[in-house]
Chains A and B, each alone.
Chain A
Amino acid sequence: MEDVSTSTPSTSFAGSLRGTLGNYAALLAALVMMVALFSYLSQYFFSANTFLTIANDIPAIVATSVGMTFVLIIAGIDLSVGSVMALSAAVAGIAMLQWHWSLAMAVLLAMGVGTVTGFLNGAISVAWRLPSFIVTLGMLEVARGAAYIATDSRTQYIGDAISWLSNPVLFGLSPSFLIAILIVVAAQLVLTRSVFGRQMIGIGTNEEAMRLAGVDPRPVKILVFAIAGLLAGLAGIIQASRLEAADPNAGIGTELVVIASVVIGGTSLMGGRGSVINTFFGVLIISVLEAGLAQIGASEPTKRIITGCVIIVAVILDMYRERRRSRRA
């Protein structure tokens, strides 16, 4: 979190590198330890194959988690992302299959659909001063229903026209993964270097104080939800490319994985504190855990129990880390 709110005044590159590594050290260490553990437990784990599988597995979650990080920083929450993914993919799928749109146009359409739902989430909660929890819970249902209508409740097979997005192109990495990395970097820059990012952090810290300082919180909040929707729309396409189809049941429960990843990355549910890079590590931790457990032959129920425990322990550890840091400061 230091990188966004109390960054050290390091002007030299070495200094800033040290500061940056310091912020990510704990999560990085946890990740390395997990990789070491699974490599010890399974002789097949430590291989390029495993890591490439993970890398091409996570882009949809990464994109959605970046949006969720922004939403949590302004002390909101977005429960609708899973449904919005399905709806966006559904609409894009219909556009490609029935209206014969190109993939590029369909991607834009999906992002547009996502943006509109996100905008509605933000605008409604701002206009009527409703908790975003409730508004996005409503949107979760609405978007899912709309996805069923759009696809006539059937999985729409799209095929090669979309699947190449998730196939390896560069060193075994897919276009989706490269897009996800690009999103992470851009979002971290926006968060730490832009006026919009600063306003997000300020609003999450103390909205009333921001208002009295002459900053209107409303457009910032609406924009944050719109961005979260846009990224969920993009994630819908990415997921469709992996499934080679638009599935109206896609993304059920995704919001929970996404929130868990963001929180493991140290973003506060109370707002005002968060980092996109750390969210990325949070996603990696969950996916390495899942891949590792699968490789050592853990059953699905066992996997879920262990993942749940890791989420809770990670947040407890982060709380201690944060407390020690604020005492030292």
Chain B
Amino acid sequence: MPLFHGESLGKTYITPVLSHVSLELNEGEVLALTGENGAGKSTLTKLIAGLVHPTEGRMHLHERPYAPASRHEAEKLGVRMVLQELGLIPTLTVAENLMLGRMPSRLGFIRRSEMNRRATEQMAVIGLEGIDPRTPVGKLGVGHQQMVEIARNLVGDCRLLILDEPTAMLTSREIDHLFTQILALKRAGVGIIYISHRLDELQQIADRVMVLRDGRHIDTKPMADVVQNDIVRLMVGHDVSEERKRPIHETGPVALEVRGLGRGKVVRDVSFTMHAGEILGLAGLVGAGRTELLRLIYGADAKDTGEIHLEGSETPARIASPMAAVRKGIGLVTEDRKSQGLLLPLAIRINATLANIKAVSRQGWLRPAVERGQVGKLNEALGVKSHSIDQPAAELSGGNQQKVVFARWLHRDCKVLLLDEPTRGVDIGARADIYDQLEKLADAGKAMLMVSSDLRELMQVCDRIAVMSAGRLVRIFKRGEWTQQALLEAAFSGYLATQAPAQ
């Protein structure tokens, strides 16, 4: 008898986003759910978790009709979902977030030490006993925040757990902890629905895999019977060669040189050189200081020590703000495109011309026709899927949003591009487009510094990979010198002698 049974589920807003999808989930089973962005994975799981109400179909839990009116009701029945967007309150502590709604109290006063003790226990379950439960969540890195979010959903009775891209921001060590935890939950009879783009992960953890495309159920197969290419073919509808071989190409003169850059303990004495036409990868664990390094170069944070030299000049460049960085030809694709990259409610057109408004204006007045022409061309070149360039960025899928951010820096025509997790939350199809674009930019002589937590991606795209560990740049690998093993060892090296990479 299945734990959960959904029968021809569907959801229609104005057009159907999901139709006739049936699924079964057994106790102690991990069902992988995959598909390109916009395939309907999130909608399907939100139906199950009570966040969205189905417009067609029926659901059963433990053979009893199941129609949760809200997330709260679903949780009471033991159905829980870890959302892609973090649902934590940044100003509250880890313990307070974990215990929200069930804080131990006496006469209405919180029993703080009891709460912190329970929180530590809960964090230990997912291998994060090193985090002080009294730390405000906002002070943690995104990866740790994600782990806290997962821990929160494991508190109390949990029969069916939905994980939406849980590893998107985790390091491999954290992923290992998560997988151990998933195995423990399986043994306890919890049914798990696991959404992910990362096919290697699915093979590691899932019993069956279910593929959605355009809101329809394409196929469900036992994981043992499929290889990665099968899944990709099912997702996309045609063959995609994910393995690409980037030719080693000649790189040009020095575009940017960093000497002894540092800020507190976060970034310590970092030096390296980037060349025109080169893609330099930046690997490391969450909290190794990669994003912080990018922000220092970009002038978004103030540096304590060090110099930045542009185009081989011996005089250090004065970059005290992002405005100065942009003026000097540096662009930044932020890690969090929703809160830092895009003006979500505004049109693609407006987002794309933000960094170079001079090109579409004359004496302070906008030239709409010129703007339309330029943005139209950029959209076409990048393959942005949208109704028109007037569509708000919020309505685009993750991959297309990222392309709009790229369009902005193409429009600006900068010399150095800093990319922070440029393919996070981007589906395979759009990811390939972005890799193509990076290559084109390299051919056009741009220097790129790309942070990614996906080592395979870096190994595929980059000419060289610099590895950061505990704030220091420990080693730079050339193409051909690296192996996944060697990169990982370098990433961990800074923590071996000292302490675990907390925060």
Chain A interface residues toward B at CB < 8 A: 5-9, 193-196, 198-199, 201-202, 205-206, 208-216, 272-273, 327-329
Contact = CB atoms under 8 A, between A and B. Distances in A.
Nearest to A202: B343
A6 B347 contact: yes
Contacts of A208: 339-340
Nearest to B361: A195
B334 interface: yes
Interface stretch (B158-166, B321-329, B448-456): B321-329
Contacts of B300: 211-212
Contacts of A202: 343, 346, 350, 354
A210 B357 CA distance: 12
Given A6-B346, A202-B354, A212 B365 contact: no
Contacts of A328: 14
A104 B409 CA distance: 48
A201 B326 contact: no
A194 B346 contact: no
B332 interface: yes
A193 B365 contact: yes
Contact of B323 (A201, A209, A216, A327): A216
Contacts of A273: 345
Nearest to B334: A212
B73 interface: no
A210 B366 contact: no
Nearest to A189: B365
B474 interface: no
B91 interface: no
Given A211-B322, A213-B408, A205 B344 contact: yes
Contacts of A201: 346, 350
A208 B344 CA distance: 12
B63 interface: no
B354 A196 contact: no
A329 B368 CA distance: 21
B322 A214 contact: yes
A260 to B, nearest CB: 24
A199 B339 CA distance: 17
A212 B368 CA distance: 24
Nearest to B395: A329
Nearest to B405: A213
Interface string B331-351: 010100001111111110010
A5 B345 contact: yes
B364 interface: yes
A159 B375 CA distance: 57
Nearest to A7: B390
A329 B390 CA distance: 10
Interface string B363-384: 0111010001000000000000
B287 interface: no
A240 to B, nearest CB: 33
B340 A9 contact: no
A9 B388 contact: yes
Contacts of A209: 339-343
5 smallest beta-carbon distances between A and B, as pairs: A214-B326, A213-B354, A205-B343, A216-B323, A213-B355
A10 to B, nearest CB: 10
A196 B364 contact: yes
Nearest to A201: B346
Given A194-B364, A198-B350, A8 B390 contact: yes
Given A209-B342, A329-B392, A195 B364 contact: yes
A167 B391 CA distance: 47
B364 A198 contact: no
A221 B350 CA distance: 19
Nearest to B347: A6
Nearest to B323: A216
B207 to A, nearest CB: 39
A43 to B, nearest CB: 47
5 contacts: A5-B346, A195-B364, A214-B322, A214-B412, A272-B343
A328 B395 CA distance: 11
Nearest to B353: A198
B347 A5 contact: yes
B118 to A, nearest CB: 35
B408 A193 contact: no
A214 B327 contact: yes
A151 B365 CA distance: 42
B363 to A, nearest CB: 9
B364 A206 contact: no
Which of B14, B300, B366 counts the most A-chain CB atoms under 10 A from its CB?
Answer: B366
Nearest to B350: A198
Contacts of B395: 329
A215 B366 contact: no
A195 B408 CA distance: 16
Nearest to A211: B322
A327 B408 CA distance: 27
B343 A193 contact: no
B366 A193 contact: yes
Nearest to A268: B345
Identify the interface centre among A7, A9, A209, A215: most chain B CB within 10 Å of its CB. A209
Interface in B383-405: 388-392, 395
A206 B327 contact: no
Nearest to B324: A214
Contacts of A199: 357
B89 to A, nearest CB: 20
B395 to A, nearest CB: 7
B365 A194 contact: yes
B15 to A, nearest CB: 12
A209 B300 CA distance: 11
Interface in B26-51: none
Given A196-B364, A212-B332, A216-B321, A206 B344 contact: yes
Contacts of B350: 5, 198, 201-202
A216 B14 CA distance: 40
B339 A198 contact: no
Contacts of A205: 343-346
Contacts of A196: 364
B365 A195 contact: yes
Given A9-B390, A208-B339, A215 B323 contact: yes
